[in-house]
Structure 1
């Protein structure tokens, strides 16, 4: 890990931990739903906004020339060629219902803030309710605390534990449910945890064989995607496309390729 990358990771880690502590405190005090976004079930809470404001302020103070792309406050172009990609609370519905699978996801990327073309440099996923902090740097590996992470070895898809998620718009969700129903008999089992960042971190940690989801935004996958690749895995889209809104697939490379072929056959 270079000195520059180590400093970027320090900033990401500290901001993620601090924002996670704020969100956890606000959760204990009671959650306020402030509104909806893409659909009536795509909620945003006061804590989402407060956590993103905190992160944005910390990053602006530490790296004033960098760009910013956040789920709640949008994009700001910088002059350094680096952009911070932030999801202040990934898994907001879990957070609302006091389920533990929610996290703060922060990554810094080089190039345009597009997961198909960017180069992720450092990232952190803080999961306060689980007491876990995942970190990764380009070329420096992925870690859970001090433990180095590795994806699980490849297994046949019928022995793979796979996780997925559902989009907030009904048209996309309907197709996802159809694909999931056809996929379940073909894999060991299918999980739905409600947080893409933690799902990707779980792939990196060897807790899942694979993950796939249609409809992810850049902030959903920035830190988690770096965790997967630095743990020896692959993150991609369908049919050789990059990981984008159309589809994200992650896991050990051989499992990803087999799952990609199957998802194509199922019309995902």
Structure 2
């Protein structure tokens, strides 16, 4: 892939994320309500999720009509260009529903099955994170870098919980095994922002089971380009089975503990 094409994809992703973020920030109705549910009655979709995905897909259709699409709210087309966009128009929907600031817009571009561009806009933080494969990770003009090496007992890590009750129960058991071994555990409610916080050095690590491609595609690239390691079970890539992103030293310590705790199964 040429540098010119990477730059074009980044420009498109930044524009789409900026406009969708502004729509979500400025257009949130005071009486926002649940429009639909997904995996369980507490796994919700709002009208603004749907509106933001439509805005993004309209931009992509105008600027990159031959590209494929995979979006959380239903966009799915193969395209003919070899580029596929993986979109989460509102990551952290429950936070957004409750008026909490921990939500973002996640847009990634893949080429040949590999993520080459990732953008995560966090409008309530006033920050947009981005990365191009091989080009580092950035927040505006500032280059991001994961935290320096720290022993596990001094690591601040984050996790997330599914909206399916049986899975949540096991995830709580895993977290209970990890909490005594680390500085503390955070649960913020947005996988995309957790991955960017690893990239920005605000967290030493993050793990979660049950993510979808749109939850992690952009944030995974941003974390890796900031020097973090990402993966799943030992020897496997990050996937719905398990996602782990951390500074190298914390990754090396935390991955076998998650394996032993069974973080990769329900």
Q: How many residues of Structure 1 are paired with residues of Structure 2 in the alignment? A: 262
Structure 1: 5+ residue stretches without partners: 112-117
> Where does residue 122 of structure 2 map in the other structure?
127
TM-score normalised by structure 2 residue count = 0.96
RMSD: 1.1
CA drift at 1:33: 1.2
Counterparts of 1:203 and 1:126 in 2: how far apart (Å)?
15
**1:136 corresponds to which of 110, 131, 134:** 131
Structure 2: 5+ residue stretches without partners: none
> Where does residue 164 of structure 2 map in the other structure?
169
* Alignment partner of 1:101 is 2:106: no
Secondary structure, in 3 states, of the residue corresponding to 2:28?
helix
> Where does residue 82 of structure 2 map in the other structure?
81
CA drift at 1:28: 4.9
> Where does residue 46 of structure 1 map in the other structure?
47
Counterparts of 1:29 and 1:194 in 2: how far apart (Å)?
21
> Where does residue 244 of structure 2 map in the other structure?
249
Q: Is the 8 A contact 1:110 1:121 kept in 2?
A: yes
Q: How does 1:7-46 map to 2 (within 5 A)?
A: 7-46=8-47
Counterparts of 2:145 and 2:56 in 1: how far apart (Å)?
29
Secondary structure, in 3 states, of the residue corresponding to 1:44?
strand
* Alignment partner of 1:236 is 2:231: yes
TM-score normalised by structure 1 residue count = 0.95
CA drift at 1:59: 0.5
Counterparts of 1:247 and 1:26 in 2: how far apart (Å)?
34
Secondary structure, in 3 states, of the residue corresponding to 2:27?
helix
Counterparts of 2:27 and 2:44 in 1: how far apart (Å)?
16
CA drift at 1:257: 2.2
Q: Is the 8 A contact 1:13 1:123 kept in 2?
A: no
Secondary structure, in 3 states, of the residue corresponding to 1:190?
strand
CA drift at 1:29: 4.2
Q: How does 1:198-209 map to 2 (within 5 A)?
A: 198-209=193-204
Counterparts of 1:48 and 1:256 in 2: how far apart (Å)?
33
> Where does residue 60 of structure 1 map in the other structure?
61
Counterparts of 1:123 and 1:267 in 2: how far apart (Å)?
30
TM-superposition CA deviations, 1:226-259 (whole Å, max 9, x none): 1011101111001211111110000122311211
Identify the range of structure 1 (203-212 vs 254-263) with the bigger mean alpha-carbon deviation.
254-263
Counterparts of 2:19 and 2:139 in 1: how far apart (Å)?
17
> Where does residue 153 of structure 2 map in the other structure?
158
Counterparts of 2:140 and 2:25 in 1: how far apart (Å)?
19
